[in-house]
Structure 1
Amino acid sequence: MYYTFSEIIFRMGIFTVSPVQFPAKVPSSYLSVGPLIFFVAFLPALTCYFCIGSTLILQRDIISNYSLSNCPHVKSALPPISYSIGVWEPQKFVWIIALMLHLPSRLLFTMTIPQIYLPGLGQYILYTSGTIEALGLICVSVFNVDSIIGFHAHAGFFVIWWAAAMVSMGIIIHLQRLIGHNHSSSYVLRMWRLKIGIMATFFAASAGCSIFYPISQNYCSVTAFTIFCLCEYSVVGLNAAYWGVYLSEFGRLYDGFEITAVKLDKSTSDEPGTRPKSQSGSQILEISR
């Protein structure tokens, strides 16, 4: 007896669909904190340093032809970050890929971390500054120094990112002091003091960028431009270090994020995934301890 191909597939049970009640279960997923911390805190900085290092090692011709904007006869031995991640290729594409991996995790933490603190002005400031910091990084990357809106707009977006980062750092330190969290253990106290030190160094390095860049352009000073580049590299690393310290503390308290769909019109049900009527809105994200 011979069977057709479709009959063989049918008899083997391939593509057989069994009827089940819809929905079979509440759709949900679990995101571990560890990988998210890497994507938020360290991936942008590591990618930035990779782009700089690969340019220095593999593209010496680019560096040898790079000169200061206002001093075309003055060459620089160090590439600025803006060109390394925003103009030169293939570094530009590596940075864009890293940014695409970074932003979803960053937005997730931006939405949830302020909920650790009691509702109030501090929580609102932290949420706002974190959102602006993420948007500022996007604008700095998209509107690079060679974009249609020019260098000054790129510099303006960098200032926005820097200011938002400073506010985020400061408000976290202030809120931890305000609620007494910094004295909850010796470890937390050390980390709180470390965050203060990183923030102060971040501010000093940022001040160095704003001082030495105009000096390098006005006086055609290679030394001033080199110091500017080193300060710029430091700003990136210090920002990553701050968020790495703070999110590591977060990881000591929470295992991950549980994202669950919330059913509609099930206010009286005790099923998983339903929301009581007294809780308005549609929150779908919970922090799992």
Structure 2
Amino acid sequence: MGALLPGIGCYFCIAYTYIFQFNLIANFTQSDQCPGVHSMLPPVSYAIGIWEPQRYVWLFIMFLHCPLRMFFVILYRRAFRNAAPKSTAYRRVIYFYTKTMWSELFGLVAVSILDIKCNFGQ
């Protein structure tokens, strides 16, 4: 359920690109060294990170999704710690699970903010 909103948003951005901005896909070349090679499947990072208005739709979805995701990370941690056996191994598993959920959220935000143009300077 946690991936539903970003999944729908990502598919919407890709579908919007194919329906309303097909010329971007038809003229898309992944590399300057290969100008004659075209791809009908551009990277998702272009659809959610560079091309507009898809970028703004994706950022709006992340604006709605991230606070709820933070709430669930905190809620899961508290629920697991209160209803858990007091063993050291179980606490380590909870710690690892919580850190994994935080890193997933951080990665999602990083992919949304630090787009491919920022990294490769196009």
Q: Which of 68, 71, 76 pairs up with 1:105?
A: 68
The 1-side partners of 2:43 and 2:103 are apart by 23
What residue number does 1:41 align with?
3
Indicate the percent of aligned positions where both proteins have the same amino acid: 39
Instruction: Look at both structures and tell me which one has the larger radius of gyration over its CA atoms.
Output: 1
Whole-angstrom distance in 2 between the partners of 1:75 and 1:113: 45
Which aligned runs of 4 or more in structure 1 are off by greater than 6 angstroms? none
Number of residue equivalences: 111
Return the alpha-carbon distance in structure 2 between the equivalents of residues 113 and 79 of structure 1: 37
The residue that corresponds to 1:143 in the other structure is 114
Q: Which has the higher helix share?
A: 2
Distance 1:121 1:72 in 2: 52
Distance in 2, Cα, partners of 1:129 & 1:58: 37
Is the Cα–Cα contact under 8 Å of residues 115 and 123 in structure 1 kept in the other structure? no
Cα-to-partner distance string for 1:34-67 (whole Å, 9 max, x where unaligned): xxx5xx3201000100000110111111111101
Give 2:102's match in structure 1, choosing from 94, 117, 131.
131
Letter in 2 for 1:94: V
Residues 3-34 of structure 1, C-alpha deviations (whole Å, 9 max, x = no match): xxxxxxxxxxxxxxxxxxxxxxxxxxxxxxxx
Structure 2 match to 1:167: none
> Which structure is higher in RCO with an 8 Å CA cutoff and minimum separation 6?
2
**CA deviation after TM superposition for structure 1 residue 121, in Å:** 0.2
Q: Deviation at 1:126?
A: 0.8
Question: What is the rounded CA distance, in whole Å, between the counterparts of 2:114 and 2:25 in structure 1?
Answer: 22
CA offsets 1:239-272 (integer angstroms, 9 cap, x no match): xxxxxxxxxxxxxxxxxxxxxxxxxxxxxxxxxx
In structure 1, distance between residues paired with 2:79 and 2:19: 44
- For residues 72 and 142 of structure 1, the distance between their equivalents in structure 2, rounded to whole angstroms, comes to 28
Question: Using the alignment, how far apart are the partners of 1:44 and 1:57 within structure 2?
Answer: 20
What is the aligned partner in structure 1 of residue 40 from structure 2? Answer: 77
What stretches of structure 2 of length at least 5 have no aligned partner? none
What TM-score, normalized to structure 1?
0.37
Which runs of structure 2 are paired with 1:238-277 in the superposition (5 Å)? none
- The Cα of 1:114 is off from its aligned counterpart by 2.8
